[in-house]
Amino acid sequence: MTTSEQICKELEAFYKSYSDVSISEDVAAISEFWGCPCAFISGQQGLVQFTNESDIQRMLRNFWTDLKERGWVRSEIDPLKTWPLAENLVMLLVDGTRYKADGSVLERVRVCYTVRRDADKWTFVTFSEVKPPFLGPGDQAR
């Protein structure tokens, strides 16, 4: 049986790989980290499901286009917070800062992911932004 500590280390490596690939903005490579189906959950839109890889890639292209239009050039991620829910299911809380070319802060974000292991591969299943002033799972300080 896998321990919680092992799962947390696996998720840290998984998210680092995801972050490294994301820098390339290669939508096809980034979409490999997402399961099908997967979903975005928000208070405004409810559940938005992405049922196939082309849906996921369209969502990712829209995401990158929006960020660039707002002046984004890079991001920094804080240490992850992980909560194993089962041997193959984890909740992941990620804090990050997005920067503009001049070094100023574009925005600080907090995202909550559900991540599932299927056939020895971790993939994102759901994601939600945690909007300020709310702290999200575990009431972790920002």
3-state SS, one letter per residue, for 54-105: HHHHHHHHHHHHHHHHCCEEEEEECCCEEEEEECCEEEEEEEEEEEECCCCE
- Structural domain boundaries in the chain: 4-126
Class of CATH domain 4-126? alpha beta
Distance CA 89, CA 123 (A): 10
Give the residue from 21, 54, 56 showing the smallest Cα distance to 127. Answer: 56
What is the pLDDT, as a whole number, of residue 142? 83
Distance CA 121, CA 110 (A): 24
What is the pLDDT, as a whole number, of residue 1? 64
On whether the pTM is more than 0.85, the answer is: yes
* Percent of the chain at pLDDT exceeding 90: 84
pLDDT tens profile 91-135: 999 999 999 999 999 999 999 999 999 888 999 999 999 999 999
Residue with more model confidence, 1 or 41: 41
Q: How far is CA 131 from CA 5, 6, 116, in A?
A: 28, 30, 24
Give the residue from 53, 67, 54, 55 showing the smallest Cα distance to 25. Answer: 67
pLDDT tens profile 70-83: 999 999 999 899 99
